[in-house]
């Protein structure tokens, strides 16, 4: 039946992260720095709100857009945290995670043959999202020497007459890079000049350790051409609840809503109830988790540099992205040998695009004890090279 599979589906590779997960399943005593997921359980008040709503019988569909009370809560939150203004009844769609929001955002704007500039290294879903929509992803490298920011020069060089949109993610998975207002301004001017759409995945917005996160849509004239994507998985430790959202001016969000209606109908209602509680009473638990991530970051990144893996200090998200160039191994070889010889799982940087090669991604969303043991094991591994 292989011949019956669509060309587009054949073109996309299986996720390189999953490949490592499968290897880990067969091993014992593995310290995993591989998964991009908080190690905390969802705060109990959030769980309880959902349990209570089920007890009350709230088990049906919501409106396609999402529960009005959640839409209102999200727009209030975006305004209070990031000075970002959207109409809760017209300019937002509650989705099944940021994953669905990314997919329907791309499908809402891409026609066959359109190019989408993807700031790389990036989350593994971006290129497949564009390919499945019939478009061509065009990587735009964000280099370590620029603190993994997207520069105006790199963006201009990649624009062509077929470019439709630009996809960015800051704070970034996998580099931990962030964009300040000035660097955002420089790329937004180009996006406006070339009449492009900006898809800005801000799922790590709360995990910004040194400076307040700047929402792309608040910069210059970006708002009218930006699709802002966010969700609850990272900031509130809610990966399993599958709730995210997309905000955009009406013409764009209405189109995304139309697609969402047909593919998802609505986001899980139990998750929507929990998400509302997260925004209403989740600040304290969220901030406690974030200060713990910051301590882990400092411990782990200093440790990496001490043992001889040079690592840029990530400013956001929960990933360290050290270079393995000095070891003489490729990132794939490094990750595979580190797993088989020392039982530490990391993800090769090239999984996140060619500009990620020569690096490994280590998630520090795990306990300090694990991080210390992982550093010992990585040091032991380096000493054998
Ligand atoms: N965007 C980025 C950059 C991510 O890292 C992830 C999850 N790893 C997602 C989107 C998907 O998040 P969600 O759980 O909300 O679907």
Q: How far apart are CA 339 and CA 333, in angstroms?
A: 10
Q: Tens digits of per-residue pLDDT, 342-383?
A: 999 999 999 999 999 999 999 999 999 999 999 999 999 999
Task: Dig out the tokens for 336 from the structure.
Answer: 């595979």
Report d(CA 41, CA 18) in Å as an integer. 22
Mean pLDDT of 113-121: 98
Tokens of 29: 């005593």
Reported confidence tier of residue 11, pLDDT bands at 50, 70, 90: confident
Residue-level pLDDT at 25: 79
Q: Is 37 close to ligand 1, i.e. is its CB under 6 Å away?
A: no
Calculate the average pLDDT of the chain. Answer: 96
> 99 alpha carbon to ligand 1 midpoint, in Å?
6
Read off the DSSP letter of residue 316.
B
Q: Is 38 in the pocket of ligand 1 (CB under 6 A)?
A: no
Please report the pLDDT score of residue 23 as a whole number: 75
pLDDT tens digits, one per residue of 180-197: 999 999 999 999 999 999
CA 359 – ligand 1 centroid, Å: 20
Is pLDDT of 3 > 90? no
Question: 3-state SS of the chain: helix, strand, coil percent to 5?
Answer: 50, 15, 35
How close is the Cα of 98 to the center of ligand 1, in Å?
6
Closest CA to 121 of 284, 380, 347, 376: 347
Kindly tell me if the per-residue pLDDT of 287 is higher than 90: yes
Distance CA(110)–CA(237), nearest Å, equals 32
Compute, in angstroms, the gap from residue 132 CA to the centroid of ligand 1. Answer: 18
- 157 in helix, strand or coil? helix
Distance 100 CA to ligand 1 centre (A): 9
Reported in sequence order, the residue ranges of the chain that DSSP labels E, i.e. its strands, are: 31-32, 92-95, 115-120, 136-141, 163-169, 197-201, 226-231, 244-247, 319-320, 344-345, 347-348, 360-363
Domains of the chain: 2-42+284-383 (3.90.1150.10), 44-282 (3.40.640.10)
* Pocket of ligand 1 contains residue 95 by CB under 6 Å: no
Share of the chain above pLDDT 90, in %: 93
Q: How confident is the model over 207-254, as pLDDT tens digits?
A: 999 999 999 999 999 999 999 999 999 999 999 999 999 999 999 999
Sign (positive/negative) of CA torsion 320, 325, 326, 331?
positive
Q: Provide the pLDDT for residue 94.
A: 98
Q: Among 74, 98, 232, 244, say which to mutate for ligand 1: greatest number of ligand atoms within 8 Å of CB.
A: 98
CA–CA separation, 246 and 244 (whole Å): 7
Which sign does the torsion angle of CA 55, 57, 63, 69 carry? Answer: negative
pLDDT attached to residue 264? 97
Cα dihedral 343, 345, 346, 352 in deg (nearest 10)? 140
Q: Determine the 3-state secondary structure of 342 from DSSP.
A: helix
Q: Say what the pLDDT of residue 35 is.
A: 87
Find out whether the beta carbon of 203 lies less than 6 Å from any atom of ligand 1: yes
pLDDT confidence tier of residue 14, bands split at 50, 70 and 90: confident
> Of all atoms in ligand 1, which is nearest to the CA of residue 101?
16
In the chain, the largest separation of any two C-alpha atoms, in whole Å, equals: 60
Helices and strands counted in the chain (H then E) = 13, 12
Question: Does the pLDDT value for residue 160 go beyond 80?
Answer: yes
Say if residue 168's pLDDT is above 80.
yes
- CA contacts within 13 A on the Cβ side of 155: 25
The vertex-14 CA angle with 12 and 16, nearest 5°, equals 120
pLDDT tier at 26, thresholds 50, 70, 90: confident
Tell me how far apart the alpha carbons of residues 349 and 342 are, in angstroms, rounded to a whole number: 19
Q: Is residue 70 scored above 80 in pLDDT?
A: yes
CA-nearest residue for atom 8, ligand 1, is: 36
């Amino acid at each position: 039946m292989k011949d019956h599979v669509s060309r587009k589906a054949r073109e996309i590779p299986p996720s390189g992260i999953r490949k490592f997960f499968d290897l880990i399943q067969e091993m014992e005593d593995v310290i995993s720095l591989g998964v991009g997921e908080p190690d905390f359980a969802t705060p109990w008040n959030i769980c309880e709100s959902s349990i209570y709503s089920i007890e009350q019988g709230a088990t049906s569909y919501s409106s396609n857009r999402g529960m009005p009370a959640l839409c209102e809560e999200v727009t209030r939150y975006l305004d209070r945290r990031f000075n970002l203004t959207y109409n809760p009844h017209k300019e937002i769609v509650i989705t099944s995670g940021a994953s669905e929001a990314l997919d329907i955002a791309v499908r809402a704007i891409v026609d066959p043959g359109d190019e989408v500039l993807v700031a790389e290294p990036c989350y593994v879903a971006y290129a497949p999202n564009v390919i499945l929509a019939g478009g061509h992803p065009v990587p735009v490298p964000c280099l370590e020497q620029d603190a993994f920011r997207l520069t105006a020069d790199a963006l201009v060089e990649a624009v062509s007459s077929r470019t439709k949109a630009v996809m960015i993610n800051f704070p970034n998975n996998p580099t931990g890079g962030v964009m300040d207002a000035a660097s955002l301004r420089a790329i937004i001017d180009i996006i406006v000049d070339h009449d492009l759409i900006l898809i800005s995945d801000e799922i790590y917005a709360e995990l910004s350790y040194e400076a307040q996160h700047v929402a792309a849509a608040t910069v210059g004239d970006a708002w009218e051409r930006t699709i802002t994507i966010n969700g609850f998985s990272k900031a509130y430790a809610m990966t399993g609840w599958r709730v995210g959202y997309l905000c955009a001016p009406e013409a764009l969000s209405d189109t995304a809503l139309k697609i969402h209606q047909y593919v998802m109908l609505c986001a899980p209602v139990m998750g929507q109830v929990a998400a509302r509680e997260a925004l209403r009473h989740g600040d304290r638990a969220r901030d406690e988790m974030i200060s713990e991530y910051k301590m882990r970051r400092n411990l782990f990144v200093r440790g990496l540099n001490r043992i001889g893996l040079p690592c840029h200090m990530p400013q956001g998200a929960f990933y360290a992205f050290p270079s393995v160039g000095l070891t003489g191994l490729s990132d794939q070889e490094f990750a595979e040998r580190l797993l088989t010889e020392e039982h530490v799982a990391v993800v090769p940087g090239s999984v996140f695009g060619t500009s990620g090669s020569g690096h490994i991604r280590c998630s520090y969303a795990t306990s300090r004890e694990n991080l210390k043991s992982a550093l010992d094991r990585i040091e032991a591994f380096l000493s054998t090279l």
